[in-house]
Chains A and B, each alone.
Chain A
């Protein structure tokens, strides 16, 4: 999968796989974050995909996409370390399947590049009412952050764990700054992103489509590009004392989030460690907290790789909070003592190999796999990573586990903690 440069700081990869009946194009803009810009960055994906100069309303944009056999054009903001990525993705039925032989690829490319380079704007500002609607969507999203209790607890834990760092700012930003966003400010931020962001592009198609690179190159050549690289790797400082916070909410189930930080653990060792701790079918956390002790329904482990931080989040009875914390600590100790089986190590490798293979069977996962590889700066293929995982020893994992330092405990506590399940 050779990468080519389409312009200054615009990298392009095209992948061909004849088994697919659709095409996919992803454009990712790498951007730094701060408290003021965060809500603007959260707003831009919606503003730029809802309408454009050519399709100046949600109705018009949707109608065009639907007429192109349900082509899709979506965008999202993802946090990566202390920075962020705005990801615009279009997917569409391959031209070969059009009922009347009409072109689909070129109209989709025109729609996408039009939305990004000629948005629905005039006199240096995004146009109302579309901008006003998108801004209200953002404010609603901020207001509704508490709806999903698990995500809410994870966000609160992240804010505490990364306190003082850009990663502590939630994806949507904060409401006061969001309320202040103007159509001209948002437009100016987008123009700066077009000039300064590193742009990573991947296309997946059933057969070569040279027109994609040609059209993108031609359209982006009009920009006065002065890209500023963004560094994703931003390890969070390790604390000497554990931070413990809680919040009460009128819910039935208490959510517990525990975070752990480390200094440096190689990717292959971390993949083994996380798999054994929480990702395989009989992981230490699942087997002991759920199956053996019946303390929870879910107990999930996630890894913020660029921040060198692990998150463990669990839905529990409030009365079991201390018991669950103790049980999690015991599993970390088990890792440090190398107290896990060879089977578990084997399953960790098999799990990774399967996930890599599964990614090649889905057009969006295939593109994302390539983009993540480039973002991580790890040139190894999935096969090479699996080979590296095979060389990881029990001692390597145990030693890495000794680096894990408990950082934060956040409890979203059910208001009626004494309540019996009958009362819910």
Chain B
């Protein structure tokens, strides 16, 4: 088979990422890093927890999936007629695993030896599902146990509660694992149907990095990939209102100190624009209240924050949230101070010197971030899921960002009427909920 190979080069480091459009329908991305002794492979599909409904164009039929289907499928794909595929990876000296996120499911392995044998195993097992009613049933209690553990985790719970406060209908909630009720609805048929719909090579990517060679990867791909028909299933997402559901959410759990999560909801972006806006939003959040910003110091001195405080940008196909999380006895005061600082920065302008320092820091992070087979592999997969050609766009985008961009970001992505404050308070007997 003949594959088209596109070479993408990072101007700063000289790193090369090869993009291969394989005739079987799969996009393959490779970074050869011969100085490293290990190698990674990630085989991912654009099917994650938010994929809850799809349409089959020929029949027009719409299929609804129970929450947690993508994660359940990830668990069950490892099981084959002759046992768990993990044992085969282990015999090759490879370590395999998988994860399900909101927008993707990724199967991966890492190894020092027998890379191409392990790659063949990865491609084969992800493409060929084997589900029986008995094995799907046996997994149910394991996943319910995983859910119980997640629900006991205050950070997980706070994040989910914040998403519930921000999104009306977009399926960022319930939890990636689903609910006890939805997990009980999932059957072998559900999993098979989902696999047929979304584990189509045209909807997937294979990323390889480390001590690997493109030609040998292509030989394995030629041998193991089952040519896929054109993608039939069309993911359907509900129309999400711009405003949040509520500005406040509260629950109580056994925690030692009040935890908070502040989320600013804004319009989603796609492709390179999303990457650019995510970088910009992260920089803007750090300008406002990152640990080099005066407001952080002020709140630290006032005892309103501690060293658990962090900022983040969480974005995907259909959502965009800027996050501020930490511990505080007065989360309302933190939110108020943050909103005041947003207004002040809009009026007074930004600290240009700090902006330059933060841009330089982000450049340093991006250079170091690609200096490892695992992180290079993840960066290539992220770029594919986000609709970007190569994992090297970050550095160029960072260099272009200006103070005017920050002002635009403040206006569009930090609106005080698009915020939800989620709080987890320590449980104390006799205290009623919904006081916030």
Please report the C-alpha to C-alpha distance between residue A347 and residue B93 in the assembled complex, in whole angstroms: 7
Please report the C-alpha to C-alpha distance between residue A140 and residue B300 in the assembled complex, in whole angstroms: 13
A358 touches B306 (CB 8 A): no
Closest beta carbon of chain A to B334's beta carbon, Å: 15
User: Which residues 282-337 of B sit at the A interface, judged by CB distance below 8 A?
Assistant: 290-294, 296-297, 300-301, 303, 306-308, 327
User: Which residues 306-323 of A sit at the B interface, judged by CB distance below 8 A?
Assistant: 315-317
Contacts of A351 in B (CB 8 A): 90, 93, 95
Please report the C-alpha to C-alpha distance between residue A357 and residue B374 in the assembled complex, in whole angstroms: 13
A250 touches B360 (CB 8 A): no
B144 touches A21 (CB 8 A): no
Within 8 Å by CB of A57, from B94, B155, B297, B364, lies B297
Closest beta carbon of chain A to B329's beta carbon, Å: 10
Please report the C-alpha to C-alpha distance between residue A343 and residue B300 in the assembled complex, in whole angstroms: 55
Task: Assess whether A63 is interfacial by the CB under 8 Å rule.
Answer: yes
Contacting chain A: which of B16-24, B35-43, B187-195, B230-238? Answer: B35-43
B144 touches A421 (CB 8 A): yes
Task: Assess whether B371 is interfacial by the CB under 8 Å rule.
Answer: yes
Closest beta carbon of chain B to A170's beta carbon, Å: 13
Please report the C-alpha to C-alpha distance between residue A422 and residue B183 in the assembled complex, in whole angstroms: 10
* Residue interface bits A68-105, CB-to-B below 8 A is 1, else 0: 11110000000000000000000111000101000000
User: Which residues 9-34 of A sit at the B interface, judged by CB distance below 8 A?
Assistant: 18-22
Query: Which of B91, B210, B358 has most A Cβ within 10 Å?
Result: B91
Closest beta carbon of chain A to B391's beta carbon, Å: 15
A69 touches B142 (CB 8 A): no
Please report the C-alpha to C-alpha distance between residue A143 and residue B329 in the assembled complex, in whole angstroms: 13
Contacting chain B: which of A115-123, A145-153, A227-235, A372-380? Answer: A145-153
Task: Assess whether A362 is interfacial by the CB under 8 Å rule.
Answer: yes
Contacts of A63 in B (CB 8 A): 292, 354, 357
Contacts of A282 in B (CB 8 A): 84, 86-87, 90
Query: Which of A20, A93, A290, A315 has most B Cβ within 10 Å?
Result: A93
A-B contact count (CB 8 A): 196
B148 touches A252 (CB 8 A): yes
B112 touches A143 (CB 8 A): no
User: Which residues 282-316 of A sit at the B interface, judged by CB distance below 8 A?
Assistant: 282, 290-291, 294-298, 315-316
A346 touches B149 (CB 8 A): no
B151 touches A144 (CB 8 A): no
Contacts of B151 in A (CB 8 A): 252, 424
A253 touches B149 (CB 8 A): yes
Q: A59-B294, A62-B291 are in contact. Are A358 and B360 (CB under 8 A)?
A: no
A147 touches B36 (CB 8 A): no
User: Which residues 28-59 of B sit at the A interface, judged by CB distance below 8 A?
Assistant: 33, 35-38
Contacts of A424 in B (CB 8 A): 147-148, 151, 180
Query: Which of B13, B87, B96, B427 has most A Cβ within 10 Å?
Result: B87
Q: A59-B292, A66-B292, A422-B180 are in contact. Are A298 and B149 (CB under 8 A)?
A: yes
Contacts of A291 in B (CB 8 A): 84
B363 touches A59 (CB 8 A): no
Contacts of A343 in B (CB 8 A): 87, 91
* Residue interface bits A127-159, CB-to-B below 8 A is 1, else 0: 001000100110010111111111000000000
Please report the C-alpha to C-alpha distance between residue A422 and residue B139 in the assembled complex, in whole angstroms: 17
Contacts of B90 in A (CB 8 A): 280-282, 347, 350-351
Place the interface of chain B in its size category: 35 or more
Contacts of B145 in A (CB 8 A): 253, 296-298, 315-317
A421 touches B180 (CB 8 A): yes
Please report the C-alpha to C-alpha distance between residue A281 and residue B111 in the assembled complex, in whole angstroms: 14
Closest B residue, CB atoms, query A59 = B297
Task: Assess whether A54 is interfacial by the CB under 8 Å rule.
Answer: no
* Residue interface bits A47-66, CB-to-B below 8 A is 1, else 0: 00010000001110011011
Task: Assess whether A240 is interfacial by the CB under 8 Å rule.
Answer: no
A70 touches B111 (CB 8 A): no
User: Which residues 163-181 of B sit at the A interface, judged by CB distance below 8 A?
Assistant: 180-181
Q: A69-B360, A93-B367, A354-B95 are in contact. Are A18 and B256 (CB under 8 A)?
A: no
Please report the C-alpha to C-alpha distance between residue A386 and residue B144 in the assembled complex, in whole angstroms: 38
B306 touches A137 (CB 8 A): yes
Closest beta carbon of chain A to B325's beta carbon, Å: 13
Closest beta carbon of chain B to A64's beta carbon, Å: 9
Contacts of A99 in B (CB 8 A): 360, 363
Contacts of A207 in B (CB 8 A): none
B36 touches A361 (CB 8 A): yes
Contacts of A46 in B (CB 8 A): 307
A315 touches B149 (CB 8 A): yes
Please report the C-alpha to C-alpha distance between residue A362 and residue B152 in the assembled complex, in whole angstroms: 33
Please report the C-alpha to C-alpha distance between residue A40 and residue B354 in the assembled complex, in whole angstroms: 34
Closest B residue, CB atoms, query A422 = B180
Within 8 Å by CB of A297, from B13, B146, B362, lies B146
Closest beta carbon of chain A to B403's beta carbon, Å: 17
Contacts of B255 in A (CB 8 A): 144, 146-147
Closest beta carbon of chain A to B46's beta carbon, Å: 26
B293 touches A294 (CB 8 A): no
Closest beta carbon of chain B to A90's beta carbon, Å: 13
Task: Assess whether B143 is interfacial by the CB under 8 Å rule.
Answer: yes
Closest A residue, CB atoms, query B426 = A143
Q: A253-B152, A315-B149, A421-B180 are in contact. Are A59 and B291 (CB under 8 A)?
A: yes
Q: A71-B364, A144-B256, A358-B38 are in contact. Are A252 and B354 (CB under 8 A)?
A: no
Task: Assess whether A353 is interfacial by the CB under 8 Å rule.
Answer: yes
Q: A62-B292, A66-B360 are in contact. Are A145 and B153 (CB under 8 A)?
A: no
Task: Assess whether B110 is interfacial by the CB under 8 Å rule.
Answer: yes
Contacts of B142 in A (CB 8 A): 290, 294, 296-297
B37 touches A361 (CB 8 A): yes
Task: Assess whether B365 is interfacial by the CB under 8 Å rule.
Answer: yes
Task: Assess whether A67 is interfacial by the CB under 8 Å rule.
Answer: yes
Task: Assess whether B257 is interfacial by the CB under 8 Å rule.
Answer: yes
Task: Assess whether B416 is interfacial by the CB under 8 Å rule.
Answer: no
Please report the C-alpha to C-alpha distance between residue A252 and residue B151 in the assembled complex, in whole angstroms: 7
Task: Assess whether B154 is interfacial by the CB under 8 Å rule.
Answer: yes
Within 8 Å by CB of A361, from B292, B306, B364, B373, lies B373
B364 touches A93 (CB 8 A): yes
Please report the C-alpha to C-alpha distance between residue A282 and residue B91 in the assembled complex, in whole angstroms: 10
B37 touches A294 (CB 8 A): no
A281 touches B86 (CB 8 A): yes
Contacts of B354 in A (CB 8 A): 63
Task: Assess whether B372 is interfacial by the CB under 8 Å rule.
Answer: yes
A140 touches B257 (CB 8 A): yes
Closest beta carbon of chain A to B39's beta carbon, Å: 9
Please report the C-alpha to C-alpha distance between residue A19 and residue B91 in the assembled complex, in whole angstroms: 29
Task: Assess whether B368 is interfacial by the CB under 8 Å rule.
Answer: yes
Contacts of B155 in A (CB 8 A): 147
Q: A66-B360, A350-B90 are in contact. Are A146 and B254 (CB under 8 A)?
A: yes
A137 touches B141 (CB 8 A): no
Task: Assess whether A223 is interfacial by the CB under 8 Å rule.
Answer: no
Please report the C-alpha to C-alpha distance between residue A159 and residue B36 in the assembled complex, in whole angstroms: 41
Closest A residue, CB atoms, query B329 = A140
Within 8 Å by CB of A21, from B91, B308, B368, lies B368
Task: Assess whether B89 is interfacial by the CB under 8 Å rule.
Answer: yes
Task: Assess whether B361 is interfacial by the CB under 8 Å rule.
Answer: yes
Please report the C-alpha to C-alpha distance between residue A66 and residue B283 in the assembled complex, in whole angstroms: 12
A-B contact pairs, 9 of them (CB 8 A): A21-B13, A70-B360, A91-B368, A133-B301, A149-B149, A250-B254, A281-B95, A354-B110, A361-B373
**Shortest 8 CB-CB distances between A and B: which pairs?**
A69-B364, A143-B256, A19-B35, A144-B256, A350-B93, A70-B361, A281-B86, A253-B148
